[in-house]
């Protein structure tokens, strides 16, 4: 079976006009880096093409433009590729698209999915990556191919090291390797199965329904050919990374299922108003034993972040939400937290709690603003280091949290809200209300 290898790069490396000989040194260095990036990309593409087991995916070969990357082609490749190469140069780390692609790919790595991610690093440091928003992806925990120069020998060495790493690390087929379905694969399969059950089965009506669903997700051109091969799985795969407004339209086109089926559809898509990019930081927070701080006003928003990050509609004991109704004191807040944890977790036995977290995966505790006291965070993180605490801290966490927690906690980036407003969380409220209306509507 051939493995798709996704190649992420900056579109700036297509600039091929050499600066004049008397140009500033930094312009000449930039040109050499772009020239190197083009050459490396071309040679890597040739080497991957020469390997029968690889199918390289490169957006410039498919004619994708910056404005329609998410909508028209990369969803399937990012979600399902077996390997990925991310070229990180000073120009690439300025690209929001490269950051999004690297985020989705690192999200899959943190979910322990069968994907191999190889960053090729040229002219950037760990500090540079931190400044440009790549720090929370923890790419330094992944095998890098670091390039020191831009000569043809440097290119050959980087390409060989990258291909060797892909050959050595790519997993066998799931059945041979004994792997269970990954979280994103499981979500796609579950959603695809449900779609196949709720869409009318008669020929013409079925086709009409599927066409309208493709239109809802703006699936056009060559993407329709992929959908044709396996329509339910294709629609499910596109839905996982679609805009939440598109998801709402998709459901309204999915036939007229019975209310229990609408409830299941709702539960599967409810977290999709949250971008996968910031949600993936929760997995990083869990791995680093950090408190995740979200500038959200509602614990349900924070819960959606967790469900989006894990690609699962989890509940207790892996997702616990203590009551935020307190008298404002430390003692009252701690009483609510301990009461909620005691209902689901063996918090009196640290070893048993650690074992449960290791076996089941990260366990998240959502703290509303009434519980977001610096002294409370200090106590819960010290007493229960096995758990990951997520704080819905409101629009300005720096003013809500004190005692250094506004900086010690990990603020998810990009932020939930639009700058200076509540647009993002209001979008989530509207989305949840639309889903509620969808479930309660007459079939």
151-206 per-position pLDDT tens digit:
888 888 989 999 888 888 876 554 444 456 778 888 989 999 999 998 887 777 78
Distance CA 286, CA 342 (A): 21
- For tokens 């930039």, name the residue: 30
Residues 6+ apart with CB under 8 A from 67: none
CB burial of 303-317 (b: ≥16 within 10 Å; e: otherwise) equals: bbbbbbbbbbbbeee
Q: List, in sequence order, the alpha helices (H) in 92-180.
A: 96-110, 126-131, 152-169, 174-177
pLDDT at 364: 97
Q: What is the rounded distance in angstroms from the CA atom of residue 88 to the CA atom of residue 98?
A: 9
**Element containing residue 321 per DSSP (H, E):** none
- Domains delineated in the chain: 3-176 (3.40.50.10140), 183-274+432-440 (no CATH), 276-413 (3.40.50)
pLDDT less than 70: residues of the chain: 1, 10-23, 25, 28, 59-76, 171-180, 222-223, 226, 398-399, 406, 413-422, 443
What pLDDT is stored for residue 389 in this prediction? Answer: 96
CB 188 within 8 A of CB 233: yes
**Among the listed residues 156, 183, 319, the one whose alpha carbon sits nearest the alpha carbon of residue 240:** 183
Q: What is the pLDDT of residues 198-237, one digit of tens each?
A: 888 777 778 888 999 999 988 877 667 767 778 898 899 8
For 283, residues 6+ apart whose C-beta sits below 8 A from its C-beta are: 107, 110, 111, 309, 310, 362
Q: Which two tokens stand for residue 304?
A: 């959606």
The predicted model scores a pTM of 0.79
Q: What is the pLDDT of residue 412?
A: 74
């Amino acid at each position: 079976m051939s493995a798709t290898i996704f190649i992420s790069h900056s579109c700036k490396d297509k600039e091929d006009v050499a600066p004049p000989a008397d140009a500033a040194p930094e312009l000449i260095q930039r040109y050499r880096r772009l020239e190197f990036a083009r050459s490396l990309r071309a040679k890597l593409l040739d080497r991957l093409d020469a390997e029968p087991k690889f199918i390289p995916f490169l957006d410039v070969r498919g004619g994708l433009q910056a404005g329609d990357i998410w909508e028209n082609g990369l969803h399937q490749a990012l979600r399902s590729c077996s390997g990925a190469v991310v070229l990180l140069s000073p120009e690439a780390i300025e690209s929001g698209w490269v950051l999004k692609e690297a985020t989705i790919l690192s999200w899959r790595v943190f979910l322990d999915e069968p994907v191999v991610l190889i960053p090729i690093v040229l002219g950037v440091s760990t500090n540079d990556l931190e400044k440009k928003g790549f720090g929370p992806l923890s790419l330094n925990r992944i095998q890098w191919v670091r390039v020191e120069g831009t000569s043809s020998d440097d290119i050959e060495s980087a390409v060989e090291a990258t291909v060797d790493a892909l050959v050595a690390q790519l997993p066998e087929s799931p059945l041979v390797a004994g792997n269970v379905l990954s979280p994103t694969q499981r979500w796609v399969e579950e959603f695809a199965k449900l779609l196949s059950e709720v869409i009318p089965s008669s020929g013409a009506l079925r086709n009409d329904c599927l066409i309208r669903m493709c239109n809802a997700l703006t699936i056009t051109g060559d993407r329709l050919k992929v959908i044709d091969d396996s329509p339910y799985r294709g629609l499910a795969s596109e839905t996982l990374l679609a805009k939440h407004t598109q998801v709402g339209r998709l459901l309204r086109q999915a036939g007229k299922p019975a209310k229990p089926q609408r409830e299941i559809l709702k539960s599967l898509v409810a977290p999709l108003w949250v971008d996968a990019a910031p949600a993936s930081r929760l997995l990083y927070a869990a791995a680093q034993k950090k408190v995740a701080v979200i500038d959200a006003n509602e614990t349900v928003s924070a819960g959606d972040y967790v469900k989006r990050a894990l690609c699962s509609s989890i509940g207790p004991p892996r997702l616990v939400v203590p009551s935020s109704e307190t008298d404002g004191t430390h003692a009252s807040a701690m009483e609510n937290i301990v009461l909620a944890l005691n209902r689901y977790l063996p918090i009196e036995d640290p070893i048993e709690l650690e074992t449960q977290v290791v076996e089941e995966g990260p366990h998240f505790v959502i703290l509303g603003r009434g519980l977001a006291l610096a002294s409370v965070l200090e106590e819960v993180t010290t007493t229960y280091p096995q758990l990951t605490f997520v704080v819905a801290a409101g629009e300005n966490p720096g003013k809500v949290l004190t005692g250094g927690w506004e900086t010690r906690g990990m603020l998810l980036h990009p932020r939930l809200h639009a700058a200076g407003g509540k647009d993002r969380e209001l979008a989530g409220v509207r989305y949840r209300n639309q889903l509620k209306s969808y479930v309660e509507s007459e079939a």
